Structure 1
Amino acid sequence: MQSLMISCLASLISVFFIQFTLFVLALFLPTSSFFTLLPLTALLIVILVGLGRCCKRLVGVKACAPAFVFLSILFLWVVYISVIRRVTSYLMDIVFNIEIVMLIVGLYRIMLSDPGFVRCDSSYHEMPVRSPLNEDEAHIEELEPSTHPTQQESHAEEGLIVRRGRYCKYCDAYVNGFDHHCPAFGNCIGEKNHFFFVLLLIGFVISEASYVACASQFAARFQTIDEVKRVTSASRSLAISTMLFSLFQVLWQVVFIMWHVYCACFNIKTDEWINWKTYPEFQVQIISDAGLPQTDLQFKNPYDKGILRNLKEFLTAKG
Structure 2
Amino acid sequence: MPQLPKPKIRSATVRSALGRQPQAFPHAKPLNSPKSAPKESTDGGISREELKARRRKFLMTAGALYGTFLAGAYYWISYGVAQGGPYEEAKPRDTAQTYDKLAKQYDRIIGRDELFMGLSFWRKDVAKQATGDVLEVSCGTGRNIAYLNIPAVKSITYVDSSEQMIEQTREKFTDRYAKYQHAQFLAKRAQDLPLDIKYDTILQTFGLCSHEDPVYVLMHLQDLLKPGGKIILLEHGRGTWDFVNRILDKSAASRAEVFGCRWNLDIGDIVRKSGLVIDKESRSHFGTTWTIIAHRAGDVMPPEQKKRFLIW
User: Same-fold call, TM > 0.5?
Assistant: no
Report which of the two structures shows the higher radius of gyration computed on alpha carbons.
2
User: Is the helix fraction higher in 1 or 2?
Assistant: 1
The alignment's TM-score, normalised by the length of structure 1, stands at 0.27
